[in-house]
Amino acid sequence: MGKLDGRVAFVTGASRGIGREIALLFAREGARVACTARTLEEGDHKLFEGSLRSTVETIRKEGGEAQAIPCDVSEYENCAAAVAEARRALGPIDVLVNNAALTYFIPIDSYPIAKWHRSFAVNLHAPFYLSQLVLEDMIARGSGAIVNLSSGAAIGPGRGPYADAHRMLRGATLYGAEKAALERFTQGLASEVYDQGISVTCVSPSQVVPTPGTLHHKLVRGMDDPRGEPAELMARAVLLLATEPLERVAGRVTYSQQILTEFGWMEEGKGLGFEGSGSGYSLI
């Protein structure tokens, strides 16, 4: 028996990195998975390898059920169409994973207005759009789980004076603000839908996960950087939050290795949640 047998999961950013690992694990645990991202075919993305087609083909080869649904989540109409397609293909949605993310790492004094708006649309508006859309199914059934993915960038640099080491954070100001807002959104929504049997949670990697994106932004030295955290740990943390009883996890803002060790899914952890206290919302 899988932890998600009979359930339908909707995973954004499923073409590569953490989103791909979440989709694969969810399918192995019995879910029918709607895999969404902008990249349908290998080679469609100018910079990165990975595609929805590859993710879905891997799931199907392993005996799972999945549907590739290309979607640019920055627009509400696209999100509504993707959710409707997922319902038609797989059924009402039981689990939503808001994983898709976008950042440019540009300092505020030179941030292009169009990129600012697009970043907000992907990182904050899309989780709202999709949460509202899937709540139609979840409220009607009296159950469901929404898991939002945050980042250590939500932890600000604190007040000055600032050492030279903090200069690297300048380009992450918008991304960090968006993720901090997502954590507050998580707890607010969790309180709104708790009585309707729906869990809303948020998790960040305890350590930087080597992915095509983090490698591109030079946050890791390579895909095998020993300072990094395997994407599988984030996938397992998301699975935990999506399947544990409502009263144990609702409103949690946490970190991958922290929550996995707390619930006995791994023996020891490190990084955020162990070395440093995490964001303010993780302490509430």
Active-site annotation, residues: 150, 175, 179
Taking phi over 0 as left and psi of -120 to 50 as alpha, with beta for the rest, 91 belongs to left
Nearest to 185 by CA among 143, 154, 142: 154
Q: Could you give the dihedral angle defined by the CA atoms of residues 223, 62, 68 and 40, in that order, rounded to the nearest 10 degrees? A: 40
Taking phi over 0 as left and psi of -120 to 50 as alpha, with beta for the rest, 264 belongs to left
Residue 252 to residues 15, 74, 200, 274: CA-CA distances in angstroms?
26, 25, 8, 16
- Is the torsion defined by CA of 22, 28, 29, 34 positive or negative? positive
Helix ranges, the chain (H): 17-28, 52-61, 76-90, 113-120, 126-141, 173-193, 212-216, 231-243, 246-249, 256-262
Bridge partner list, 254: 203
CA 243 to chain centre: 16
Report the run of H or E that residue 34 belongs to, with start and end.
strand 32-37
Cis peptide before 157 (omega within 30 of 0): no
